[in-house]
Amino acid sequence: MRPLEEIIEEYDNLRASFKNFTNVSENNKDSLIEYQHRFVDLKADLRYWHTKMMHAATKRDEKACTGIKFRIAVAMVRDEYVWSEGEKPMYDKPPAIGNAEKFASASKQYKEFLEQRAFYKESLANVNDLRDEISSYINLIKDRLK
């Protein structure tokens, strides 16, 4: 497994190299096949990251948001909620479950969960976009080989 940053850097270099090749060179079949193999290899390297981001985004779906908020609310009702540093109770005595859910939405843990959710959803979208771009280059090379 290669680091994602390394894959992105290699993609940028390969894309620039391919652009230069197509601007100054004839359609050399061997060179086009080599470029196609390199793009296919990059796409294969992205498979791990796509799966990882997809699982991370799925673990933070709407159902998980509701679950974590409810667990925080139940802990508040039972007066077992562990407050983070810099965070203080918004009530004097433990609230009812309805009010606790509102307080749970404002908790630090829930906000951190939502930030992670946004990060992984955006990361998954970016990896999908990169895979689509690589597929476009593979198809472009395939068309040039015809």
Residue 116 zone, left/alpha/beta (φ > 0; ψ -120 to 50; rest) = alpha
Cα separation, 131 vs 115, in Å, equals: 24
User: What number is the average pLDDT over the span 124-143?
Assistant: 97
Residues 6+ apart with CB under 8 A from 69: 101, 104, 105, 110
pLDDT of 19: 94
Cα separation, 58 vs 56, in Å, equals: 5
- pLDDT over threshold 90, residue 48: yes
What are the residue boundaries of the structural domains of the chain, listed by start? 4-145
User: What number is the average pLDDT over the span 64-74?
Assistant: 95
- pLDDT over threshold 90, residue 71: yes
pLDDT of 92: 83
Residue 21: band (very low, low, confident or very high) from pLDDT cuts 50, 70, 90 = very high
- pLDDT over threshold 90, residue 146: no
pLDDT of 1: 84
Pair 46, 130: CB distance under 8 Å: yes
pLDDT of 27: 75
User: What number is the average pLDDT over the span 23-31?
Assistant: 85
Query: Which tens digits make up the pLDDT trace of 77-128?
Result: 998 888 888 788 878 888 999 889 988 998 999 999 999 999 999 999 999 9
pLDDT of 51: 97
CA distances from 141 to 11, 15, 16, 25, 110 (A): 15, 12, 14, 14, 47
Nearest to 49 by CA among 131, 140, 118: 131
Q: What does 39-88 look like in DSSP terms, one character per residue?
A: HHHHHHHHHHHHHHHHHHHHTTSHHHHHHHHHHHHHHHHTT---PPTT--
